[in-house]
Amino acid sequence: MLNSKLLDEVSTRVSALLAASPISDVEKNLRALLVSFFAKLDLVTREEFDVQREVLTRTSEKLAALEKRVAELEAARAGEQK
């Protein structure tokens, strides 16, 4: 079996090499490019989306209740007119 201390040391050295390599610069530049790209789009956060979904759900429930009530009132009125 491999020594876990040896694996940790190798992992640390590989991470240090990658951080000092051009890959790090490419990653930073790509990240900045993506942030800039997404900032130009008209996007909402997941939190905002979830809040609006809840508002829509409550509104749909209220609308269904009101439609049911109107139907009951119309049926009652039709029954009175006979």
Least confident among 1-5, 12-16, 31-35, 42-46: 1-5
> Quick one: how far is CA 55 from the chain centroid?
16
Average pLDDT, the chain: 84
Per-residue pLDDT reduced to its tens digit, 31-60: 888 888 877 888 888 999 999 999 999 999
Q: How far apart are CA 66 and CA 24, in angstroms?
A: 59
Mean pLDDT of 9-31: 76
Give the helix, strand, coil percentages of the chain, each rounded to 5: 90, 0, 10
Mean pLDDT of 8-28: 75
